[in-house]
Amino acid sequence: MNILETSLKDAYIIEPKVFDDERGFFYEGYSEKGLCDKMGIKFEVVQINFSKSSYGVLRGLHFQSEPMAQAKLVSVNYGEVWDVAVDLRENSPTYGMWYGVILSAQNKRRFFVPRGFAHGFIALSDSVDLMYAVDNFYSQKHDNGIRFDDPELNIDWKINVNQIVLSEKDKNLPFLRQKLAEYSK
């Protein structure tokens, strides 16, 4: 397993060691010893989530507030996405910065998104099956998000904005400054 640092503190790309032969392939999708020990983190999977999306579907930018914050290990089982994380930890040296990576069934990469980050992705192929393991349970009460098109973040979503398909919930998320103002009340 190869663990790559990103430009965001504590966010990593994981490249598994793939064993290919005429039958297909095998790799470890998650290994506590291989992942947590090498990165020096604690990540105990309590829930695994799946989503299916078509081209242009953007899901995000989502996060859960404390005490229900979640770290995520994101992977794609079919298709390709542009996966994005935004550091929302106010004391972090990379606060307010974003990082994106192509995740696909072909490259088999994983993206580790720590607690305190917003996360989102856009489907770049006709169909995408995405899976993410989390270390805390979902709580509707703590469900939060920020706008995908926040001008301060200026995220490059890799496709024309007119092709992006959003849920009503995601269309109405606040900008980062609005979210921070809510927390400071």
Contact criterion met (CB below 8 Å) for 157 and 56: no
Half-sphere exposure of 91 (CA within 13 A, CB side): 0
Q: Residue with structure tokens 């009460």?
A: 141
Active-site option among 132, 138, 142, 183: 132
> What SS3 state is found at 42?
coil
Q: Is 62 a catalytic residue?
A: yes
β strands within 55-124, DSSP E: 58-64, 72-78, 80-87, 98-104, 110-113, 117-123
Q: Is 132 a catalytic residue?
A: yes
Active-site option among 12, 55, 62, 95: 62
Contact criterion met (CB below 8 Å) for 173 and 182: no
**DSSP annotation of 152:** T
Catalytically annotated residues:
62, 132
